[in-house]
Every structure is written in structure tokens, then in C-alpha cells.
A and B are shown apart, each in its own frame.
Chain A
Amino acid sequence: MELSSRELWTVVHGMILGAIFLLAFAGGVAELLGLRSSYETPLGELKSSRRLVEGTWVMAVVAWLTVITGTFFVYPWYRAKPVSGADLIHYPRSYLLANPKMAEWHNFGMEWKEHVAWLAPILATAVAYVTWRYRNKIATDPVLRRGLIALFSIAFFAAGVAGVFGAFINKVAATR
């Protein structure tokens, strides 16, 4: 039961932080969908809005941690240039590009993932701030609530693209 430091950071980035992000999204969107004054008592609204504020801030903080660890810890190992004569299996980007059947994992998958992932923390932070500041208004303002749900879902989509391609690429060319 051993993990190298690179494997450990990959697990922290993709499995631990990524999983918390996805769980926080599920809870947050459920609260946003249900937070309507016609659905809940005033006390229920209060409790729901508190859970919502906590959930969205967790999602925002975790999203930042995920992209920071991915970009500045894991990605440099992925894109490291191999020294002459090195076994390319230890250099995921070069390994993928050297195999025509696998090159698209980098050219499409990794290229999309590394850029679109950064949309998630930006949008999650905007949603978390508005949720906190307008926590007593969301239940009675359908425009605000729907807008937040849509932006929250786009943040989830961006993180989902990054997560899915991250998992596949690490399967095809693992960062070890």
C-alpha cells in the first residue's frame, strides 16, 4: 500500500478534492431548487439558506484548491520534457504525443481540461458570494435563483469536463 508523492498529489487533486466538489454541487443545487417561499416554512427557509451558503462556499474553496493543485503540482509532472533516451512512460504528455492513436488525449482532452477547469472556481465563487449576500432573497426572487442555478451548473460542467478527462488521461498515461 504505497503511493509516490506524485501519485498522492494526483489522488488529492482528482479523487479527494474533485469528489468533495461534486458532492457539494449535488447538495447545493438541491437546496437552490428547493429554496422557495412557497415550498418551505420561514424556519425551513432559514435552515435551507444556511446550508446553501455553507455548501456553495465549500464548493468554491474546494474548486480553487482543485485547480491550484492540478495546475501547479500535477500538471508540471505531466508536461515535463523527457531527457534524451528516457522511457516516455514517465513523461505522460510526450508519451501520448508519440503515439498517433493516443495523441488526441493530449491535443483535445488535456488542452480542453487545463483551460476550462479554471472557469469552475471563478463561477463557484461568484455564486457563493451572491448566495451569501442575498440568502434571504433567493427564496422569493425566481430570476436570481434561476440565474444562480444556471451558473452553478456551468461551474459543475466545467469541473466535470476536467474531471472526466483527468481520469481518462491518468488511465492512459499515468502521472507517477
Chain B
Amino acid sequence: MTAIPHQNIDAGSSPASAELKSIAPIDTATGPAAAALTAGGLGCAAMGLLTTLAEASPAFKKALNLYDPVGPLSGKVAGAIIVYVLSWIVLGLVLRHQQVHLIRWLILTFILVACGLIFTFPPVYDLFTVH
């Protein structure tokens, strides 16, 4: 582990150098970052999926009505948050000490976020609406 990114720091006794000494070591394992970001993507994708499925199935839409004043949105929100939290826990445990190719996990995250954005867009999910 590297202590700080700059090797030419004068570790004197000034307040500035005292602050620099307080810098935490760099976390080299990129797994936790991949887990957190991918879980965010999965939460977004879940919101999109639940929104579109609710349009495609009136029975499913009714089942999502967990809290009457809010309607089916309550179930979509609960589902998305559950997916987000659970996937963060699972991925976090699996990847906690791993050094991963962050770019690959970022691409996966962007694909999942794009799914979330596309399937929460009314003209898209209206294509699946059962009248």
C-alpha cells in the first residue's frame, strides 16, 4: 500500500505537513468501488424493470400497491431499494478484497443505469401497457 500519491512531500513539523500525515492510505482494492457502483446500476435497472412490468401486467401493478396513498409507486420504490441494498451487500462481500478491472464494471454500471433511464421513460414503457 502506498501512503499518499506524492513521494516528494516534505514531512516537516508545519501544520500543513501534520495534516498531510493524517491522510489515510490509498485503498488499492478496486472491488468495493465496483460493488457500490454496480449495485447503484442494479437499483436503477430494477426501477425501470418494475415500472415497465407494472404496465405490462395489471395484476403485477396491483401487487405493487403496498401503500394505498402512493399506489403502485410504493412497490416499485421498495423493490428498487431492496435490489440496490441486497446487491451492494452481496457484491461487496464477493469483491471486498479483489482488484478488478474497474472500467469493465463501470461499463456494466452504465448499461444498467441506461436500462433504468430508458424503462422509466413514459413513451417507452407505454409501449408495453396492457389496456
Contacts and interface: CB of A to CB of B under 8 A. Distances in A.
A122 B106 contact: no
Given A46-B19, A119-B117, A133-B33, 15 more contacts: A42-B4, A71-B73, A75-B70, A115-B48, A115-B51, A115-B73, A116-B117, A122-B80, A127-B40, A133-B36, A143-B106, A147-B102, A147-B106, A151-B40, A158-B117
Nearest to B15: A43
Interface of A: 37, 42-43, 45-46, 71-72, 75-76, 79-80, 107-108, 111-112, 114-116, 118-119, 122-123, 125-127, 129-130, 133-137, 139-140, 143-144, 147, 150-151, 154, 158
Say what secondary structure dominates the interface of chain A.
Answer: helix
Nearest 7 interchain pairs by C-beta: A126-B40, A76-B69, A115-B120, A122-B43, A147-B106, A111-B122, A140-B5
B103 interface: yes
A43 B20 contact: yes
Interface string B70-94: 1101101100110010000000000
